[in-house]
Structure 1
């Protein structure tokens, strides 16, 4: 008999805790885990042969549903291939439950296949790592597996969310005999964890209000954040009623007519010092704009409040004076109410400098105007002209996913006037690995049109994510093919080196066409401005998954991008 009952119960606990998706990479040692989830009946099982892609597919799903997704793999190097996605999930605070099958410890260094050191394999890139005993018949082990499974799921879902790992050594035999049933134990315990809201004391509010009143120039800036209607409503009231500038990169998912979006274009100006705030309030995770980070480092505010649920004190601006634990929507909402009430009672306006808000808006309007002027005057076909055309035809119900390197930088400048339902990018580690797979995972569960913008190198690096049955029909992919890593021409340093093309750009002659043929994806291509609009519209209107590959020249891309940055300065 090879029914490993505690592993069947592990699947049942996951189900009762609300988990509904499991991404599984095939293997032998993991058979008992795989069958526990596949035969349960309550999970959507997604099979991916490449563990690296599987990890990012699970990440994309968990990113959308804001709940843990289970990852399962066999023993050995298979587990290591989860590492890029696990590290991204850790720094992007996305909940994953990673179950890695393992060989018993006594077989390490015995030349037994697929046997490596798996205990704590993900190091500090998980919230916690557990390991269960392979002696499943012992009652203490059964109790421990029940407890550990509950604890791991709860931990993954407690702010800050993140990946949690359970290493599962399994002895042979582990394949069930014919007719053996997979039924959960009757005595399974599901342990729920109560989430408590933070209550800030009165002394805390008094200190905040004192600092607010002594800071005439106030700026609010959002880092990477999921779409949040309640937070947007609060920020727009602050911007409109109090005339305080609110700034956000595209991945901050801030919407509103007064949101500052083009700061990356104008903060490098020589006379930008007058935009320095006395009080800076930040929230969210990573900030995409290098210009903004450098601006604040050079022009630090007197006060800097950072609102975060992070376990670490993050200070990329080197200026934080107050680290506030909690949700931005709660803090800013309460702050608005208290200041609004104080203003009403005292029958006076707030004392901050509204001209500061007008100055930020003036710079925003000028940068946006110059951007459109440059785009209208570009005579050669480039990444910028292609994406500008695509964004003009995009409907407001699309969700946007962006790869790293130049793709996310282009989108941060160009994708500012669309009504996206959400903008997502893997900015936890900012690697190029996994962006295709993440978008695939997201499109599988988000139920809406999804657009991925990706460079050729990042696409080629992650093609194995497309080795899936039933690819999501709601996914559209745009590949910017400039025959290499074009960003290395854009940034200071490698662009002037003789080794640029060989060791940095890695020039190539590959395209996405054959990948599309292998995966059953409709393929479109464009290499010049003439006729591009028709191809783009046909691509966007195609009923099913489709890919548009734009072939551009890296030299022209560099010229166009630098012209845009130069015009705004």
Structure 2
């Protein structure tokens, strides 16, 4: 067997494997040919080839979110690496360890008007933990030692502490096509490990915090996006049994318990000022990523709490409610497990009971409203959410899809995800496809027609498994703009914000080998959904056609349905 003669590529691939990387997404090119050859000879890494670098990066992001480990991303020189920026920014804020490897020309040719000689090193510096630049020369023990040390450091950086992407810019000189017999060297084998003792609260810290959380203090726990975590789920379940503790969680927090209130917007929207004031907590504890709910953010900014603690591994001080008093740099599961073990019921409190009474009333009003509305985005989402299989991986695009999903209970869905790190519309389809390639069950993407058009190139990739199901809400393009206050009343709305052009989804589905389904009423949606979801040898797309203006009006009416 012959491989590349570039030792830097061989060292890099060897260390990817030793640090646990099992998936790489490759975009083909010329300058990265030696690295592609080295990867091709490595059976320990599964390779996915995606031509479009922007889509490739989101596919890597989707993979990383499910495997909960590092995923490598490889591109050639020139503008290729710049296309990674949206996905890498998302990965940074979702704390996903993507290892970006960009092939580059030797540094002496940068800015010399030669082909593809732009400044690649640190091109992603704002959205990676660290950037590394490996020189083209790797032909003696000193240079091989340097490459080995740098790659080990990059992997440790990505995987330790607050996980995040790193960027390795790998200079490669010509010739690029020389091959040699495969042989191991000391530098491909030398792995640098890492030991990081877990952070736990000291007895004094624990005692102090538990005192602040004990009755009669009112405690509100709020969960933003988070990966599924059994320890976190169980610990919060025990805390939610305390009469003075209420747990609010978003659908993408991925915690499930009958004691959790998982429809935040639906619940808060029926409270008047007096109701909100009476339920304002003494201590609010947040965990996970950025919140979708604008209602809870406005609530806690307007009704200032006495204390706000944020729990999680972070490099930044996150003060979203403008009331932060304590930053706790621990994994949420470990923190809440210690707190739950130490909490004791003492003074009676009706705080949790009052929140749950509001939640029950909100659910009754929700059911009554949804049962009375005409065919619209909301009625379609009601049917879809009720028919999703319990073991599916639900992927939601940004825009109205994630906002509608927040209004319905996700307790019976195994996992829900959305690109809420930076909330970009780009790459939602690619992310879902990437997730589907490493999840054994069914992955369902619910997206809007504008989001789908933005990432339509994702449908061309070869790695889409038959278990991938894509629901496109076809509501005239940009339904969110018909609802939000900043655009809904603008005279330019229909011409500049929403996209009304014909979207040939059926033709695209057929061209790229998808099974295609349509629905334009509750009856047709219920009738076609089972066929859409059935096991097949091809992935499936369903277009759900809903009226644009009526859907926006129904959603506005939902938040005016009642106030306590």
* TM-score class, shorter: over 0.9
Hey, what's the Cα distance between the residues in 2 that align with 1:183 and 1:557? 63
Distance 1:93-1:2 versus aligned 2 partners, 3 A rule: closer
- Normalised TM-score (structure 2): 0.95
Q: CA deviation at 1:262?
A: 2.1
Displacement of 1:45: 0.5
Distance in 2 of aligned mates of 1:10 and 1:532: 50
**1:271-310 matches, cutoff 5 A:** 271=274, 272-310=276-314
SS at 2:113's partner residue?
A: coil
Q: Structure 1 residue 392: deviation in Å?
A: 1.9
* Structure 1 pair 155–377 and aligned structure 2 pair: CA distance change class (3 A): same
8 Å CA contact retained: 2:213, 2:283: yes
1:47 to partner: Cα distance: 0.2
Task: Describe the superposition over 1:17-60 as per-residue Cα deviations: whole angstroms up to 9, x where unpaired.
Answer: 21111100010000011111111222110000000000010011
Is the Cα contact below 8 Å between 2:76 and 2:103 reproduced in 1?
Answer: yes
1:561 is aligned to 2:555? yes
Who is 1:385 aligned against?
A: 379
Q: TM-score, normalised by structure 1?
A: 0.95
Match of 1:261 in 2: 262
Where in structure 2 are the equivalents of 1:79-478 lying within 5 Å? 79-177=81-179, 180-187=180-187, 188-213=189-214, 216-242=217-243, 244-268=245-269, 269-270=271-272, 271=274, 272-340=276-344, 349-351=345-347, 354-379=349-374, 381-414=375-408, 416-478=409-471
- Counterpart CA distance in 1 for 2:8 and 2:519 is 55
Deviations 1:252-271 (A, max 9, x none): 11201111122212324323
Runs ≥4 in structure 1, deviation > 3 angstroms? none
CA distance in 1, matches of 2:411, 2:527: 20
User: Does structure 2 conserve the Cα–Cα contact (< 8 Å) formed by 1:435 and 1:458?
Assistant: yes
1:445 Cα shift? 0.5
Measured on the aligned residues, the alpha-carbon RMSD in Å equals 1.6
1:520 Cα offset (Å): 0.6
Taking a change above 3 Å as real, the CA distance of residues 36 and 538 of structure 1, as seen in their structure-2 partners, is same
C-alpha distance in 2 between matches for 1:213 and 1:63: 35
Q: How far is 1:511 from its partner?
A: 3.3
Kept in 1: contact 2:218–2:244 (CA 8 A): no
- Count matched residues: 556
CA distance in 2, matches of 1:534, 1:103: 57
**SS in structure 2 opposite 1:219?**
strand
CA contact (8 A) 1:266 1:367 kept: yes
562 and 128 in structure 1: CA distance in 2 versus 1, 3 angstrom threshold? same
**1:370-427 deviations in whole A, cap 9, x for unaligned?**
1111111112x2111112112222221111110001110011112x155111111100
Q: Secondary structure at the match of 1:366?
A: helix
Gap regions ≥5 residues in structure 1? 341-348
| Aligned mates of 1:71, 1:364 — CA distance in 2 | 44
Unaligned runs of 5+ residues in structure 2 are none
Q: Tell me the CA shift for residue 200 of structure 1.
A: 2.4
8 Å contact 1:467–1:519 — kept in the other structure? yes
Partner SS for 1:81: helix
CA gap 1:99/1:417 in 2 versus in 1, 3 angstroms: closer
Call closer, same or farther: CA 1:369–1:531 in 2, change over 3 Å: same
For 1:309 and 1:559, how far apart are their aligned partners in 2?
41
Q: Say whether 1:489 aligns with 2:482.
A: yes
- Counterpart secondary structure, 2:417: strand
Within-5 A mapping of 1:37-76: 37-76=39-78
Question: Aligned equivalents of 2:463 and 2:331: distance in 1?
Answer: 38
- The CA deviation at 1:136 is 1.4
Shift in CA distance, 214/260, structure 1 to aligned 2, threshold 3 Å:
closer
Structure 1 segment 526-545 matched on structure 2, within 5 A: 526-543=519-536, 544-545=538-539
Cα separation, partners in 2 of 1:267 and 1:536, compared to 1, 3 Å: same
Offset of residue 470 of structure 1: 3.9
Alpha-carbon distance in structure 1 between the residues aligned to 2:118 and 2:478: 34
Give the C-alpha shift of residue 306 in structure 1. Answer: 1.3
Counterpart Cα distance in 2 of 1:4 and 1:466: 34
Residue 346 (structure 1) aligns with: none
* 1:508-519 map, 5 Å: 508-519=501-512
Q: Retained in 2: the 8 A contact 1:375–1:385?
A: yes
Provide the C-alpha distance between the structure 2 equivalents of 1:184 and 1:20, rounded to a whole number of angstroms. Answer: 20
CA contact (8 A) 2:72 2:101 kept: yes
**Which residue in 2 is equivalent to 1:23?**
25
